[in-house]
Amino acid sequence: MTKEEWYARLFERLGRSKFRSGFHLTQKDIDYIHEKGLDTIRQHARDFIAQREAPAFIPNDGKQTPMRGHPVFVAQHATATCCRECIRKWHTFAPGVELGPRQQEYLVDVIMTWIVRELAAAEEKVAEETATEDAVTSQTGKVMADEAVTLQARKEMSNDIKRP
Q: Which stretches of the chain bind Zn ion, using CB under 5 A?
A: 82-83, 86
Measured from the CB atom, the residue of 15 and 37 that comes closer to Zn ion is 15
For the four alpha carbons of 108, 52, 74 and 88, in that order, the dihedral sign comes to: positive
Measured from the CB atom, the residue of 11 and 23 that comes closer to Zn ion is 23
In angstroms, give the least distance from the CB of 10 to Zn ion: 15
In angstroms, give the least distance from the CB of 77 to Zn ion: 7
In angstroms, give the least distance from the CB of 134 to Zn ion: 42
| Long-range contacts from 118-126, C-beta under 8 angstroms, 24+ separation | 118/24, 118/25, 118/75, 118/78, 119/25, 119/30, 119/33, 122/25, 122/30
Which among 12, 18, 31, 7 is positioned nearest to 112, based on CA atoms? 7
In angstroms, give the least distance from the CB of 79 to Zn ion: 10
Measured from the CB atom, the residue of 36 and 109 that comes closer to Zn ion is 109
Residue nearest to Zn ion (CB): 86
d(CA 49, CA 90): 16
State CA 88 to chain mean position distance: 24
Measured from the CB atom, the residue of 20 and 143 that comes closer to Zn ion is 20
